């Protein structure tokens, strides 16, 4: 590839990698509750913007220096400062600098999702600046230092890896240097900040006795974020490729990236389908990201068969990792960042020692490459863990103004209200959206039939709430004494139009319809979200209120029961009340006359 075309491709790849920030923001927001959407948006924006400031001043010079210091631990920052701010700054290689900057921003933003919904925004901004200034640039230099001067790259000769295609530590696009680092930092941060309020139920001794599923508010936004990330990965992985085809060429990288992600996605879908009885949407979306992370290190060094195996194992690791982190270690990770990025970043880095076609164990090249990969993983994990424990540990020790809440965490009041309003003064991320009643008439397109075996008395419960000798105390004529009854029907949203039409056929001319949320303990097969059983709480329902005097109450009840009954628990409930009086505000009429709309 000619130099000019390579530089153009690199700038395109930089743009794709930057666009991944939008993917991270949408994925995290969709997998969490709406009251924190603005906060998550700000975090993903400031990850990049604050990181840019510290990367220019500190991180970039440490990473981009051509002269190594201390045996390849980091670069000579003074040389880069001179090049960047000196009289010849226009001649500096700014393409490579911005290329490293967008990679750095990706590392920082991974942590946001795992610590979402309960982290103090000030603390998060400080962390983001430190990881961009010190943590990422130093360990990235070990792997990607200019001229292969990082100490991990220099292990090839000492481990007997020789030849044109031999190199030391393999991590082409950052399974280790970016994803494992961000994922491990996220794991430690989520552990130290503690779980969200209500995630775990504990007994008097503090032992977790129940794990609660806290569902994300918008799976479509989360899915769109995943699609954007996958699209961005087509710049992320092949960005460093210097040829179109052949070994380490763009074609090969595009192929391995796509295959590993797709295979991992299918694997996760099948595992959740088998385990839970239904394929889990959010977990399957995580499966796509797991495969992308795992293939990132060796995308240019493995073949089709290798990418298939890497994708399969990535999907398995994700499913096991999410449940172990949640159910065994009780670390609250709302978006699965720890399993996606840390565990699969580690797996993808290790897989290079197994599936690299030129140096891997499974291709007959011995254990040398695998040994180098293990050394690199241990070194990078030690460096990252030390800094994460220091940063988040200090923030946890420092207390906020109330003298109780750690600086790292939002106060309980802030968390319950939502970080949008408490941190940013944003009342709602969706101010123009309100719960709406579905207005589709299913009666003409769908014939509802009885498919269950639950008796009608259980599926559609009728409760009579009446008062003896109900009287209208201020009646003026005999017609005012006509008995009035209120019938309240609570049912599924999709039944509204069919029920409305059937009620109008028996003479009901007016009704009030409300969108309500209800909860109740019901028999039946449990549902799961990310492997955790979902309680049937706050389900959307429709409440229809009718007051009748002429139409027989029994006709209304029978019509409603016949319409709503499908033979399943939860078909609906009907409540019957005696009405003491009705007053029409405009005319002052009371009793039966107030129900009439005749002038």
Give residues with Cβ within 8 angstroms of 121, minimum separation 6.
39, 42, 43, 419, 423, 424
Shared domain for 372 and 456, answered yes or no, is no
Q: What is the CATH number of the domain that holds 138?
A: 1.10.3430.10
State residue 515's pLDDT score: 83
Q: Is residue 465 part of a domain?
A: yes
Measure the CA–CA gap between 51 and 144, rounded to whole angstroms.
Answer: 19
CA 96 and chain centroid, separation: 31
Q: Looking at 374, 395, 424, which one is the last position of a domain?
A: 424
Which residues are CB-contacts of 378 (< 8 A; sequence separation ≥ 6)?
Answer: none
- Give how many domains the chain has, as a whole number: 2
Say yes or no: 393 and 503 in one domain: no
Task: State the Cα–Cα distance between residues 356 and 175, nearest whole angstrom.
Answer: 15
**Same domain, residue pair 410 and 511:** no
On whether residue 336 sits in a domain, the answer given is: yes
> Is 454 in the same domain as 388?
no
Q: What is the pLDDT of residue 386?
A: 98
Contact between 213 and 207 (Cβ < 8 Å): no
Residues 104, 191: one domain?
A: yes
181 and 227 in a common domain = yes
| The last residue of a domain, from among 368, 397, 424 | 424
Does residue 283 share a domain with residue 154?
yes
- Per-block mean pLDDT, blocks of 10 residues, the chain (599 long): 79 96 97 95 96 94 81 76 85 89 94 96 96 95 83 75 65 95 98 95 92 93 98 92 73 96 98 96 98 97 96 98 97 98 98 94 92 96 98 97 94 92 91 53 44 65 58 44 87 85 90 80 64 69 90 93 85 90 87 69
Give the CATH number, domain containing residue 590. 3.30.70.120
583 phi, psi to nearest 5 deg: -125, 125
Q: Measuring CA to CA, which residue among 102, 114, 109, 125 is closest to residue 19?
A: 102
Same domain, 319 and 403: yes
Identify any residues that bridge with 518 across adjacent strands, giving them in sequence order. 539
The answer to whether residues 172 and 296 belong to one domain is: yes
432 occurs within a structural domain: no
Residues in the chain: 599
Residue 359 sits in the same domain as residue 233: yes
DSSP state of 535: P
381 and 462 in a single domain? The answer is no
Domain limit, last residue, from 392, 424, 456: 424
141: left (phi over 0), alpha (psi -120 to 50) or beta: alpha
Q: How far apart, in whole angstroms, are the C-alpha atoms of residue 535 and residue 519?
A: 9
| pLDDT at residue number 534 | 72
Which pLDDT score is estimated for 367? Answer: 92
**What per-residue confidence (pLDDT) applies to 136?**
96
Q: What local confidence, expressed as pLDDT, does residue 475 receive?
A: 40
What is the pLDDT, as a whole number, of residue 157? 63
- Domain with 575, as residue range(s), is 442-595
Q: Are 318 and 190 in contact (CB under 8 A)?
A: no
- Determine the angle formed by the axes of helices 181-193 and 368-397, rounding to 10 degrees: 30
To which residue do tokens 């000492």 refer?
158
* In a domain? residue 437: no
496 with 532, same domain?
Answer: yes
* pLDDT at res. 453: 64
């Amino acid at each position: 590839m000619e130099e000019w075309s390579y530089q153009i491709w690199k700038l395109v790849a930089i743009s794709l990698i930057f666009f991944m920030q939008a993917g991270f923001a949408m994925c995290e927001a969709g997998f969490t509750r709406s009251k924190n959407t603005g906060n998550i948006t700000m975090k993903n924006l400031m990850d990049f913007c604050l990181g840019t400031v510290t990367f220019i001043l500190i991180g970039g010079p440490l990473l981009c220096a051509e002269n190594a210091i201390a045996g390849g631990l980091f670069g000579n920052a003074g040389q880069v400062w001179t090049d960047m701010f000196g009289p010849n700054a226009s001649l500096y290689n700014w393409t490579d600098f911005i290329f490293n900057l967008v990679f750095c921003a990706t590392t920082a933003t991974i942590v946001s999702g795992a610590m979402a919904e309960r982290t103090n925004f000030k603390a998060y901004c400080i962390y983001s600046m430190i990881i961009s200034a010190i943590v990422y640039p130093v360990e990235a230099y070990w792997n990607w230092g200019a001229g292969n001067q990082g100490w991990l790259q220099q292990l090839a000769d000492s481990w007997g890896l020789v030849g044109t295609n031999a190199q030391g530590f393999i991590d082409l696009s950052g399974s280790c240097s970016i994803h494992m680092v961000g994922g491990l930092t996220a794991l430690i941060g989520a552990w130290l900040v503690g779980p969200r309020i209500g995630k775990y139920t504990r007994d008097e001794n503090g032992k977790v006795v129940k794990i609660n599923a806290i569902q994300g508010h918008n799976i479509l936004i989360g899915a769109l974020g995943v699609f954007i990330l996958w699209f961005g990965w087509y710049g992320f992985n092949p960005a460093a490729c210097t040829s179109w085809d052949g070994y380490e060429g763009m074609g090969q990288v595009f192929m391995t990236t796509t295959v590993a992600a797709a295979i991992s996605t299918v694997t996760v879908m099948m595992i959740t389908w088998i385990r839970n009885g239904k394929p889990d949407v959010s977990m399957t979306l995580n499966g796509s990201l797991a495969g992308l992370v795992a293939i990132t290190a060796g995308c240019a060094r493995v073949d089709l068969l290798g990418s298939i195996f890497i994708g399969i194992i990535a999907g398995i690791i994700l499913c096991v990792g999410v449940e172990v982190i949640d159910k065994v270690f009780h670390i609250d990770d709302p978006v699965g960042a720890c399993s996606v990025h840390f565990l699969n970043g580690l797996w993808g880095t290790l897989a290079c020692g197994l599936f690299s076609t030129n140096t891997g164990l499974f291709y007959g090249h011995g254990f040398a490459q695998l040994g180098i990969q293990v050394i690199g993983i241990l070194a990078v994990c030690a460096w990252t863990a030390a800094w994460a424990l220091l940063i988040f540990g200090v923030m946890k020790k420092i207390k906020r103004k109330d003298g109780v809440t750690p600086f790292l965490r939002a106060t309980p009041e802030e968390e319950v209200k939502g970080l949008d309003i408490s941190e940013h003064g944003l009342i709602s991320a969706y101010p123009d959206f309100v719960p709406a009643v579905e207005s589709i008439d299913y009666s003409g397109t769908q014939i509802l039939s009885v498919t269950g075996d639950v008796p009608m008395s259980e599926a559609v419960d009728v409760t009579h709430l009446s008062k003896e000798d109900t009287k209208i105390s201020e009646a003026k004529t005999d017609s005012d004494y006509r008995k009035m009854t209120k019938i309240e029907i609570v049912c599924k949203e999709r039944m509204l139009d069919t029920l409305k039409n059937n009620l109008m056929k028996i003479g009901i001319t007016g009704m009030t319809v409300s969108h309500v949320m209800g909860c109740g303990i019901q028999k039946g097969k449990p549902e799961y979200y990310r492997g955790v059983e979902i309680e049937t709480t706050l389900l959307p329902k429709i409440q229809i209120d009718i007051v009748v005097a002429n139409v027989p109450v029994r006709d209304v009840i029978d019509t409603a029961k016949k319409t709503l009954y499908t033979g399943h628990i939860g078909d609906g409930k009907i409540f019957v009340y005696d009405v003491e009086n009705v007053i029409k505000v405009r005319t002052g009429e009371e009793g039966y006359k107030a129900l009439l709309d005749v002038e």
